[in-house]
């Protein structure tokens, strides 16, 4: 059986292993089964999660290695540090 390659990243301090090629948006969902993969809070404090999945709606913006980026347009990498504002 072929071994699947994985990468390990940290989401809000929690280490997570995902299959190589996984988007950060998917990793948020895997990591946050309780909060539906919330990426951020709106100005009024409402939860926001990946919605369009194709870089248009900007609902999935999170800090990735210190820069605000779109989770759905970013692939997970080994050692990546992701911080949500949720």
Partner 1 sequence: MQADVIVIGAGIVGAACAHALAQAGQQVLVLDAGVGGATGAGMGHLVVMDDNPAELALSRHSLALWRSLVPRMADDCAFSPCGTLWVAADDAEMVAAEEKQQRLGQHGIDCRLLSANQLATAEPALRPGLAGALEVTGDGIVYAPNAARWLLGDGGSNIHIEAAEVVAIEAGHVRLADGTQRRAPQILLANGIHATALCPELPIRPKKGHLLITDRYPGTVHHQLVELGYITSAHHAEGPSVAFNLQPRPTGQLLIGSSRQFDTTDMAVEAPMVAQMLQRALRYIPALGDLNAIRSWTGLRAATPDSLPLLGRHPWREGLWLAVGHEGLGVTTATGTAQLLAELMTGAAPAFDPTPYAAERFTATATA
Q: Mapping DSSP to helix (H, G, I), strand (E, B) and coil, where does residue 50 land? A: coil
Q: Mapping DSSP to helix (H, G, I), strand (E, B) and coil, where does residue 63 land? A: strand
Contacts of 80 (CB under 8 A, 6+ apart): 7, 9, 10, 24, 64, 65
- Give ∠ CA 83-86-57 in degrees, rounded to 5: 85
- Give the interface segment with partner 1, choosing from 1-9, 16-24, 47-55, 67-75 (CB under 8 A): 67-75
Q: Which is nearer to partner 1, 29 or 40 (CB)?
A: 40
CB of 84 to partner 1, least distance (A): 13
If one asks whether residue 67 binds partner 1 (CB under 8 A), the answer comes out as: yes
If one asks whether residue 43 binds partner 1 (CB under 8 A), the answer comes out as: yes
- Given the rule CB under 8 A, which residues bind partner 1? 43, 58, 61, 67-70
């Amino acid at each position: 059986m072929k071994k699947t390659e994985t990468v390990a990243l940290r989401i809000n301090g929690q280490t997570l292993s995902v299959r190589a090629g996984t988007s950060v948006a998917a990793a948020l969902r895997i990591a946050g089964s309780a909060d539906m993969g919330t990426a951020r809070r709106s100005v009024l404090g409402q939860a926001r999660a990946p919605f369009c999945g194709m870089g248009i709606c900007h609902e999935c913006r999170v800090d990735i290695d210190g820069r605000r980026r779109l989770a759905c347009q970013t692939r997970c990498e080994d050692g990546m540090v992701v911080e949500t504002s949720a």
